[in-house]
Amino acid sequence: MRHYDIFIIKEEVREAYTGKEALLAQLFSEAFHTTDPNERCQLEKQIDFITETIPVFRMESLLKRRLKEQIGYTSLAGEQVIMLESNHQESHSRLEIKERQLTLKSSGSLLTETLLFEVCRSIQPDFFAVDRTGERSGWLRATKKHLIKKVK
């Protein structure tokens, strides 16, 4: 299973860290993997400082509107969760929308994961995705300055 956390990075941070995405990825990775509660608290404060809140209901509404025609689309009632499945491609994704991040969990082929990334990218260009395994991270909007890279 692939697990991504996706954040909106503040514009001034995005501009300052363009080309230095590995440093952003390192911050998120340390926060994911630390077992020290004091260190986790400090790292979470840093993450809160460099990220923006996600307009949860607006994001959910836009995702629903753009995905409603997709086969295998489900929205869980009472929760900010979008699910896509493609049995033909054996692809399953679940996107949870929270105040400070999106959480995407996928398995199988990349079909539904890619579709969700594309829709998110079209809604908000400043998303930064971090694979929980620490192997991949980058901007969802691949432009000349914002390329998704493999983190070393």
45-70 pLDDT per residue, tens = 999 999 999 988 888 888 888 887 77
Query: For the whole model, what pTM was predicted?
Result: 0.83
> In the chain, what are the helix, strand and coil shares in percent, each to the nearest 5?
40, 30, 35
Q: Euclidean distance between the first and final Cα of the chain, in Å?
A: 20
Give the pLDDT confidence score for residue 78 in this predicted structure. 64
Q: What digits encode the pLDDT tens for the residues 70-110?
A: 778 787 766 678 777 877 678 888 899 999 999 999 988 88
| Whole-number percent of the chain with pLDDT over 70 | 88
